[in-house]
């Protein structure tokens, strides 16, 4: 396995600002919000709310998101796992659990990729004809990722 198997580039700050505005715009939020959430965490040092757009896959009362370890915002969840999520224009609260490169998170990661083919491409994971991600390639990149599972508490 190479030293870096997933791209480490992150979006420009203006891109996140535009996406956040779009996800708060009626009509647009219902369309974009089916694939991208606004996640609000509490800064571990500042105590301030930090809101960022992130792709997600929802299964009932569980929301799964994936981020690269090099994007350190996820460390805030280690200090305070309580989050707010805006999903398709609806506010929710929940509690996050993290799997930072944990091989046991592979099935959750594979399920996430089945629903988020654009993310599979971004991580360089090929899909078969039936829409299933290559588990071998997924297990290779998993050590560089953080799988975040949020148990929703309902509308906030």
Task: Look up the CATH number of the domain holding residue 81.
Answer: 2.30.110.10
On whether residue 125 sits in a domain, the answer given is yes
On whether residue 1 sits in a domain, the answer given is no
On whether residue 2 sits in a domain, the answer given is no
User: What's the structural domain count of the chain?
Assistant: 1
On whether residue 66 sits in a domain, the answer given is yes
Find which of 4-8, 23-27, 80-84, 98-102 is predicted with most confidence, using mean pLDDT. 80-84
Higher pLDDT, 17 or 96: 96
Higher pLDDT, 101 or 77: 77
On whether residue 68 sits in a domain, the answer given is yes
Higher pLDDT, 33 or 99: 99
Q: Which domain holds residue 55?
A: 13-155
Higher pLDDT, 128 or 156: 128
On whether residue 131 sits in a domain, the answer given is yes
What are the pLDDT digits (tens) for 5-24? 676 666 767 767 766 666 67
Higher pLDDT, 20 or 135: 135
Q: What per-residue confidence (pLDDT) applies to 3? A: 47
Higher pLDDT, 153 or 6: 153
148 conformational bin, left if phi > 0, alpha if psi -120 to 50, beta if neither: beta
On whether residue 6 sits in a domain, the answer given is no
On whether residue 97 sits in a domain, the answer given is yes
Please, which pLDDT band fits residue 150 given cuts at 50, 70 and 90? very high
Average pLDDT over residues 45-56: 94
Q: Would you say 40 and 50 are in contact if contact means Cβ atoms under 8 Å apart?
A: yes
């Amino acid at each position: 396995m190479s030293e870096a198997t997933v791209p480490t580039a992150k979006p420009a700050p203006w891109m996140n600002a535009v996406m956040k505005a779009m996800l708060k715009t009626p009509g647009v939020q219902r369309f974009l919000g089916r694939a991208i959430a606004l996640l609000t965490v509490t800064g571990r040092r500042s105590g301030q709310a930090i809101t960022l757009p992130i792709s997600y896959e929802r299964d009932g009362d569980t929301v799964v998101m994936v981020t690269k370890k090099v994007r350190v915002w996820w460390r805030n969840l280690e200090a305070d796992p309580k989050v707010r999520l805006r999903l398709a224009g609806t506010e929710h609260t929940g509690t996050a659990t993290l799997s930072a490169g944990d091989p046991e998170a592979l099935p959750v990661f594979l399920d996430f990729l089945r629903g988020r083919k654009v993310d599979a491409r971004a991580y360089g994971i090929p899909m078969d004809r039936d829409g299933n991600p290559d588990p071998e390639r997924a297990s290779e990149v998993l050590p560089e990722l953080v799988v975040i599972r949020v148990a929703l508490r309902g509308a906030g």
